[in-house]
Every structure is written in C-alpha cells, then in structure tokens.
C-alpha cells in the first residue's frame, strides 16, 4: 500500500533554533518527492521537489534530503523565524499519474519567540 | 497575476442542499485537482482532470461531482449525498500529471 508517514506530528521550537522534519514513504514506483508549507487556512506552497537522482536540494533556509534506498526524506530548517510556523507536508508521487500522488498528514511546526 | 483562485473562502450550507465551489486558473495548466483536507489527515483526492472535457474519480468521489468545460475552470459540486461535507477544500493545477502542483487558497465549507 502506498503510504507517506511524517514525524513528528507536531513540534515547538524557539525562534532562531534549527529543526528537522522526517518523511518515510512506501510509494512505488517512485517518481518525485515534494515538501510543501501550509499556513493555517491557506493552500500549500511548494518548497522543494526532488527526483530519484537528487539527494539534497535547498531553498533559502530550507534544505531537503532524499535517500531513495531507505525511502526517507528530511526537511531541515535553519535559524527558524516566527513566520516558519506552519504545517509542512511531504508529498510523494508514483508513476506519471495524477491519482498516484500521496500526501502525508503533515508536521505542525510552532516557533516561539 | 498568474495563479489559481478559489471562491468563496468561507461557505455555509444547510443540510440537504447542493453547493458549488469555484476554481479558476490562468496558468494555462492542463491538469486540475480537487482535494479535501480534514484535521490531522493528509489531503485526499476527490476528482482530477487531465484535459478539458475529461475527469476521473479520486479516492473519495462519492457525494461530489465536477465538470471541466473550460481549461481554466474546474468547479466542484458538493451534493446532499455527501454524508460529512464539512471540511477544507483545496483546488490545484499543474502543467501535466505529476508535475509541480499549485494550490488555491481553499474554501472552508460548513454544513449547518
């Protein structure tokens, strides 16, 4: 069964600290993995997209890693800011089909001043 | 501005009534999607369309209907057959299936 599991479910850190969010997947055959940021009551916004051959991709203070062998990805946030408070969603796509896009349930990140 | 627009942002419906959620995009994308988001759960696919005049059911299509008469529009109707319609609904579009998806700002539907 195609699944995407994220951990932790929620996380609270102090402003300025770093954090790492995890994503494990069993989606097969793998096509790509994306991380989205979703502010409360808004639509998700793409942070990174990674294909099988990529194992690191950065977008400002966000760095995503991918280990296709262990089927794990992480999103590292450096020097967190209050505006980083949001849900972070891992999305894995299988094949080239719109119906094979599996969403994780997200990690709710709260940044405290 | 290019983008994807959902309306309204908030919608209230009485039980037994049908309601239609609007989704418009000016990105010239072929593929469009409707997702439902419930607290603590991942987005679940309701319907998707990869080309005009064609659409397919997703994982939770029961109680919903869609149309794709124009490339830029993909309205979703929540019918009275949907048992638990209160949720946050997200529309998305992409250049093609499985390429990066761009999301609208969502419509929060509440049944009263």
Which band of pLDDT confidence, cut at 50, 70 and 90, is reported for residue B1?
Answer: low
Q: What is the pLDDT of residues B46-80, one digit of tens each?
A: 999 999 999 999 999 999 999 999 999 999 999 98
The three-class DSSP label of residue A73 is: strand
Q: Residue B5: its pLDDT value, please?
A: 95
Distance from C-alpha of B67 to C-alpha of B69, rounded to nearest angstrom: 6
Shortest distance, CA B90 to any CA of chain A (angstroms):
7
Q: Does A101 touch chain B (CB under 8 A)?
A: yes
User: For every one of its 113 residues, what pLDDT tens digit does chain A have, with 9 covering 90 and above?
Assistant: 778 999 999 999 999 999 999 999 998 888 889 999 999 989 999 999 998 889 999 999 999 999 999 999 999 999 999 999 999 999 998 876 666 788 899 999 999 99
Q: Residue B77: its pLDDT value, please?
A: 97
Q: Residue A52: its pLDDT value, please?
A: 85
Q: Residue A94: its pLDDT value, please?
A: 81
Return the closest-CA partner of residue A32 out of A96, A82, A110: A96
Shortest distance, CA A70 to any CA of chain B (angstroms):
22
How many other C-beta atoms lie within 10 A of the C-beta of residue A22? Answer: 15
Q: Residue B42: its pLDDT value, please?
A: 83
Shortest distance, CA B96 to any CA of chain A (angstroms):
8
Distance from C-alpha of B96 to C-alpha of B89, rounded to nearest angstrom: 21
Kindly tell me the number of DSSP H helices and DSSP E strands found in chain A: 0, 11
| pLDDT at B26 > cutoff 90 | yes
Return the closest-CA partner of residue A103 out of A10, A13, A15, A23: A23
Q: In angstroms, what CA-CA distances link A55 with A27, A68, B96?
A: 17, 8, 24
Return the closest-CA partner of residue A79 out of A104, A60, A102, A101: A60
Residues of B with a Cβ under 8 Å from any A Cβ are: 4, 6, 31, 33, 35, 40-45, 48, 50, 56, 58-59, 88, 90, 92, 94, 96-98, 100-106, 108
Distance from C-alpha of A66 to C-alpha of B97, rounded to nearest angstrom: 22
| pLDDT at B82 > cutoff 70 | yes
How many other C-beta atoms lie within 10 A of the C-beta of residue A78? Answer: 14
CB contact under 8 A, B98 and A98: yes
Q: Residue B79: its pLDDT value, please?
A: 94
**In percent, how much of chain B has pLDDT > 90?**
79
Which band of pLDDT confidence, cut at 50, 70 and 90, is reported for residue B12?
Answer: very high
CB contact under 8 A, A43 and B41: no
CB contact under 8 A, B100 and A106: no
Q: Which residues of A touch B35 (CB under 8 A)?
A: 103
Q: Residue B2: its pLDDT value, please?
A: 65
Q: Residue A43: its pLDDT value, please?
A: 93
Q: Count CB pairs under 8 A between chains A and B.
A: 64
CB contact under 8 A, A98 and B48: yes
Distance from C-alpha of B33 to C-alpha of B44, rounded to nearest angstrom: 10
């Amino acid at each position: 069964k195609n699944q995407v599991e994220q951990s932790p479910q929620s996380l609270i850190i102090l402003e300025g600290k770093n954090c790492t969010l995890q994503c494990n997947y069993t989606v097969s055959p793998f096509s790509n993995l994306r991380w989205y940021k979703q502010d409360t009551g808004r639509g998700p916004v793409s942070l990174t997209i990674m294909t099988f051959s990529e194992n690191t991709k950065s977008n400002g203070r966000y760095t995503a890693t991918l280990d296709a062998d262990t089927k794990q990805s992480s999103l590292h946030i450096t020097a967190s800011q209050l505006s980083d408070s949001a849900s972070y969603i891992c999305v894995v796509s299988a094949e080239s089909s719109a119906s094979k896009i599996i969403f994780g349930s997200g990690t709710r990140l709260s940044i405290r001043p | 501005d290019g983008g994807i627009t959902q309306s309204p942002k908030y919608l209230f419906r009485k039980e037994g009534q049908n309601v239609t959620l609007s989704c418009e995009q000016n990105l010239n994308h072929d593929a469009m999607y409707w997702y439902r988001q419930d607290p603590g759960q991942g987005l679940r696919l309701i319907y998707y369309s990869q080309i005009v005049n064609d659409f397919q059911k997703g994982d939770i299509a029961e109680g919903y209907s869609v149309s794709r008469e124009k490339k830029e529009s993909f309205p979703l109707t929540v019918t009275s057959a949907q048992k638990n319609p209160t949720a946050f609904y997200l529309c998305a579009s992409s250049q093609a299936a499985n390429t990066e998806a761009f999301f609208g700002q969502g419509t929060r539907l509440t049944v009263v």
